[in-house]
């Protein structure tokens, strides 16, 4: 009897150790204590080729999205308000320090060709309602017509707002509010809008949204989730015909989410691949989804997991579908102190991109089990590029790179690679992809 009990206890301890040892071993990499603070050589001089676009207006743009020649960004309007109320950073002062009125963050559109910046007025959005911007996605649904989905951390509950925008106007028109709190979507973080197709027409308003925590407004509860890397995050799906449904769970802080979207309305239909970041594990997982049938038995199937050494934030797929970009936090333990006093405490930033063209085929068609090349674009311990980096995107054809973050002043625009004297940039990329 004692021998059997001892054997069972030994087996239980061995099983526990098999989980705890790898789990604990991830901390040095994720916290940056074992990180080599250097980018890959081809990006070593990137900082010398960067300009901060509109630093007075594009402040704290946690998320931006590029559609064609347009960059849409959701940005902070009042820093004092943001540092009192922002649930993702565990700030819950609903009284805003006695300040009266609603929270009114801003949405901008930047023309990447002309560099013209337009603040988009929220034409019919009630002035008495909070608009505390966080994650977002944008789709072109008809020539010159866009649908925007934005996470709004209202003080009476976090929701997803839908807006419409027409090129040539200076406004976004509020179309709908999607409230998933009754289904457990307390902490929406980021959105991926499913491209319009016969299976998912625009009227379906179909999207995935990450839910980064289980605790709603408990600072202590969220600290426990973060420090113990608890798998309490999830992903929800919404469409007009289905409403909200939880489709993924067990994720350690589900944060960034992205997928393939058509480069233009005349482009071939994109691959139905979804990328989800469980940032406290440093893991991005790719899934195949079926538009119009996500809730079916095989509507969402796992393809592959990418294990990285960073706490990534938002994800973005390049327009050519070749790269998955991610910006994040090199030393996440310093982020709260930085957010409280950004001029005094730096916040290390990192940006990686993962190749989606390994083994000769675009991701989602073949090669999912192969190893994907990772390029380290920014590894910035001192906050030289900007602090609290959260969103990055690159464009090989334009040779451009953009970066923003929680406390950035302006969106950084850089030349992605410096041309060599003996070859141009496009030739470098062609050689790398062969």
- At 337, phi and psi to the nearest 5? -65, -40
Cα–Cα dist 177/152, whole Å: 9
Cα–Cα dist 249/258, whole Å: 17
321 in the Ramachandran plot: left (φ > 0), alpha (ψ -120 to 50) or beta?
left
Cα–Cα dist 61/55, whole Å: 11
Contacts by 366-371, CB closer than 8 A, 24 or more apart:
368/286, 368/303, 368/304, 369/304
Cα–Cα dist 406/404, whole Å: 7
Q: Is 314 annotated as a binding residue?
A: yes
Q: Judge contact between 379 and 39, C-beta under 8 A.
A: yes
* Strand boundaries in 155-226, DSSP class E: 157-166, 171-178, 188-193, 207-211
* Strand boundaries in 93-232, DSSP class E: 106-111, 117-119, 121-122, 133-142, 145-154, 157-166, 171-178, 188-193, 207-211
User: Measured in whole angstroms, how far is the alpha carbon of residue 366 from the centre of its chain?
Assistant: 25
Q: Judge contact between 278 and 310, C-beta under 8 A.
A: no
Q: Is 124 annotated as a binding residue?
A: no
User: Measured in whole angstroms, how far is the alpha carbon of residue 81 from the centre of its chain?
Assistant: 23
Q: Is 272 annotated as a binding residue?
A: no
Q: Is 387 annotated as a binding residue?
A: no
With a CB cutoff of 8 Å and minimum separation 6, the contacts of 329 are 310, 311, 313, 335, 347, 348, 349, 350, 388, 389
Q: Judge contact between 132 and 154, C-beta under 8 A.
A: yes
Question: 2, 134, 174, 245: which is the annotated catalytic residue?
Answer: 134
Cα–Cα dist 271/317, whole Å: 12
**2 assigned to active site:** no
DSSP per residue over 339-381, as a string? HH-TTTS---EEEEEEES-GGGS-TTTS-TTS---EEEEEEET
Coil vs helix vs strand at 332? helix
Place of tokens 């940039």: 425
Q: Is 255 annotated as a binding residue?
A: yes
Cα–Cα dist 76/119, whole Å: 12
Place of tokens 């992205």: 258
Indicate which residues carry an active-site annotation: 134
Q: Which residues are annotated as a binding site for Ca(2+)?
A: 189-190, 255, 313-314
Q: Which residues are annotated as a binding site?
A: 189-190, 255, 313-314
């Amino acid at each position: 009897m004692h021998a059997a009990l001892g054997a069972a206890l030994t087996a239980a301890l061995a099983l526990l150790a098999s989980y705890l040892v790898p789990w604990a071993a991830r901390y040095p990499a994720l916290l940056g204590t074992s990180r080599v603070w250097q980018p890959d050589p081809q990006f070593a001089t990137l900082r010398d080729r960067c300009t901060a676009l509109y630093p007075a207006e594009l402040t704290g743009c946690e998320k931006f999205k590029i559609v064609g020649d347009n960059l849409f960004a959701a940005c902070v309007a009042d820093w004092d308000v943001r540092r009192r109320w922002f649930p993702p950073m565990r700030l819950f002062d609903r009284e805003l320090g006695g300040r009266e009125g609603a929270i009114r963050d801003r949405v901008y559109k930047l023309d990447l060709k002309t560099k013209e910046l337009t603040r988009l007025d929220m034409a019919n959005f009630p002035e008495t309602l909070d608009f505390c911007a966080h994650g977002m996605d944008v789709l072109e649904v008809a020539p010159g017509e866009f649908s925007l989905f934005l996470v709004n951390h209202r003080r009476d509950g976090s929701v997803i707002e839908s807006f419409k925008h027409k090129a040539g106007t200076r406004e976004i028109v509020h179309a709908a509010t999607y409230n998933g709190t009754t289904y457990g979507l307390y902490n929406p973080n980021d959105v991926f809008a499913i491209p319009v197709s016969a299976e998912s027409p625009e009227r379906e308003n179909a999207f995935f949204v990450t839910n980064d925590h289980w605790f709603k407004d408990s600072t202590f509860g969220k600290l426990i989730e973060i420090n113990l890397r608890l798998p309490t995050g999830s992903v929800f799906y919404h469409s007009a015909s289905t409403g909200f449904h939880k489709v993924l769970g067990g994720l350690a802080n589900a944060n960034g989410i992205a997928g393939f979207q058509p480069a233009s309305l005349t482009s071939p239909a994109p691959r139905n691949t979804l990328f989800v970041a469980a940032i406290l594990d440093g893991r991005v997982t790719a899934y195949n989804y079926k538009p119009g049938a996500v809730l079916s038995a095989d509507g969402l199937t796992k393809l592959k997991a990418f294990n990285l050494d960073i706490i990534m934030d938002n994800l973005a797929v390049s327009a050519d579908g070749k790269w998955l970009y991610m910006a994040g936090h090199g030393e996440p333990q310093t982020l709260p102190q930085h957010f409280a006093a950004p001029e005094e405490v730096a916040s290390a930033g990192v940006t990686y991109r993962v190749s989606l063209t390994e083994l000769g085929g675009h991701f989602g068609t073949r090669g999912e089990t192969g190893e994907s090349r990772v390029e380290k674009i920014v590894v910035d311990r001192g906050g030289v590029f900007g602090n609290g980096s959260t969103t990055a995107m690159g464009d090989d054809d334009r040779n451009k790179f953009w970066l923003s973050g929680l406390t950035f002043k302006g969106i950084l625009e850089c030349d992605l690679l410096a041309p060599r004297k003996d070859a141009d940039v496009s030739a470098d990329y062609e050689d790398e992809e062969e």
